[in-house]
């Protein structure tokens, strides 16, 4: 999906889009983590860094990500990185491929 800046410039590299995407990601992830969707997605398309008590809250959609960064390449979104602050460090989520396409379509 291409997103172009005002003045016709294309996005490139990592961009902080926490304000724009945090609530939509909070709503999207519980559905993406259900069995019927996890069978559709590969582990590389929806990947969490380690186990954390906050993972259950992410599954329920009760906490928003603290930080959402989006990777643009050639003006297209290629990956989303969400960070959830955890009592034991951070829980990171990486979204790409079909998961990313589904997320962007629901936005």
Residue-wise pLDDT tens digits, 21-43 = 999 999 999 998 887 666 788 88
Angle of helix 53-60 relative to helix 18-32, nearest 10 degrees, comes to 90
Three-state SS at 20: helix
Could you read off the pLDDT of 34-78 as tens digits, one per residue? 876 667 888 889 999 866 778 888 999 999 999 999 999 998 999
Rounded CA separation 86/75 (Å): 32
The CA distance from 104 to 50, in Å, is: 25
Instruction: Give this prediction's pTM.
Output: 0.84
Spans of all domains in the chain:
6-106
């Amino acid at each position: 999906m291409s997103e172009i800046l005002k003045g016709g410039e294309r996005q490139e590299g990592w961009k902080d889009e926490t304000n724009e995407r945090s609530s939509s990601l909070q709503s999207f992830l519980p559905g993406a983590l259900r069995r019927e969707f996890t069978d559709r997605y590969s582990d590389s398309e929806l990947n969490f860094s380690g186990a954390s008590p906050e993972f259950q809250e992410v599954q329920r959609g009760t906490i928003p990500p603290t930080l959402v960064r989006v990777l643009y390449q050639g003006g297209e979104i290629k990956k989303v990185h969400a960070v959830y602050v955890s009592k034991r460090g951070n829980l990171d989520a990486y979204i790409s491929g079909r998961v990313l396409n589904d997320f962007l379509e629901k936005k």
